[in-house]
Amino acid sequence: MIATNSCTAQQKTTDPAQVVLDNIASRKSVRSYTSEPVPDEMVEKLLRAAMAAPSAKNTQPWEFVVVRDRATLDALGEGLTYAKMLKQATLAVAVCGDLAFERWVHDASAATENLLLAAEALGLGAVWTAADDPVRSSVVRDVLGVPDNMGTLCVIAIGFPSREEKPKDKWKPEKIHYEKW
Ligand SMILES: Cc1cc2nc3c(=O)[nH]c(=O)nc-3n(C[C@H](O)[C@H](O)[C@H](O)COP(=O)(O)O)c2cc1C
């Protein structure tokens, strides 16, 4: 066998940095899932990744609502116009943030992206669905009982993907400015 550093579609790299970079490049929104439940160990890994995110002054103003109950997932999917996939998802994580912290949206967004990357790494499919506007926030508040002092950023729908999805190529060098605009 010829030793090579290059990666083919069949060969996955073992270079740790490339593994992380490949995971970031592979992440995509997945909106169709099987009925297989997400194991508890995976749920903890998702939440650990979320809480490893950076936050302004390390305030960590996030809180998470983990939803597995079928009726609750269906109620969220029913109420949220752009999150119908929740009716198929076996897991959802609502990402909330303490309104007392000025930058809670940034912090909760960083946590959300970390969770999405962890989902990709674990072979799960996931999608960020917005819950930050008044209409969708009130749905999430009503269904999940989120208190008034907490903002609702999003509900992440999660499950095992029911079909293979491809990541979008978003590399646009023209968006980069070097040294000055
Ligand atoms: C702030 C934000 C809000 C989003 N809201 C929704 C949503 O309500 N419903 C949905 O299906 N996807 C939602 N998405 C997912 C985007 O549609 C998706 O990220 C985008 O099309 C790029 O595709 P990709 O995630 O596969 O790279 C949201 C993404 C972000 C970052």
Q: What is the DSSP letter of 150?
A: E
Average pLDDT along the chain, 181 residues, taken 10 residues at a time:
44 90 98 98 99 98 98 98 98 99 98 99 98 98 98 99 97 98 98
Residue 10 confidence (pLDDT): 57
Give the whole-angstrom CA distance, residue 84 versus residue 102. Answer: 31
Nearest residue (CA) to ligand 1, atom 3? 130
The full DSSP string for 31-93 is --B-SPPPPHHHHHHHHHHHHTS--GGG---EEEEEE--HHHHHHHHHH-TT-GGGGT-SEEE
CATH architecture for the domain at 29-162? 3-Layer(aba) Sandwich (3.40)
Mutate to test the pocket of ligand 1, among 24, 26, 29 (most ligand atoms within 8 A of CB): 29
Of ligand 1's listed atoms, the one at least distance from the Cα of 167 is 26
Residue 12 confidence (pLDDT): 77
Q: Which amino acid is at 9?
A: A
Which residue in 7, 16, 27 sits closest to 169, CA to CA?
Answer: 27
Q: What is the chain's alpha carbon radius of gyration, rounded to the nearest angstrom? A: 18
The two beta strands, 91-98 and 125-130, are: unpaired
Tell me how far the alpha carbon of residue 130 lies from the centroid of ligand 1, in angstroms.
8
Ligand 1 shell residues, CB under 6 Å: 28-29, 31, 82-83, 127-130, 168
Tell me how far the alpha carbon of residue 25 lies from the centroid of ligand 1, in angstroms.
16
Tell me how far the alpha carbon of residue 30 lies from the centroid of ligand 1, in angstroms.
10
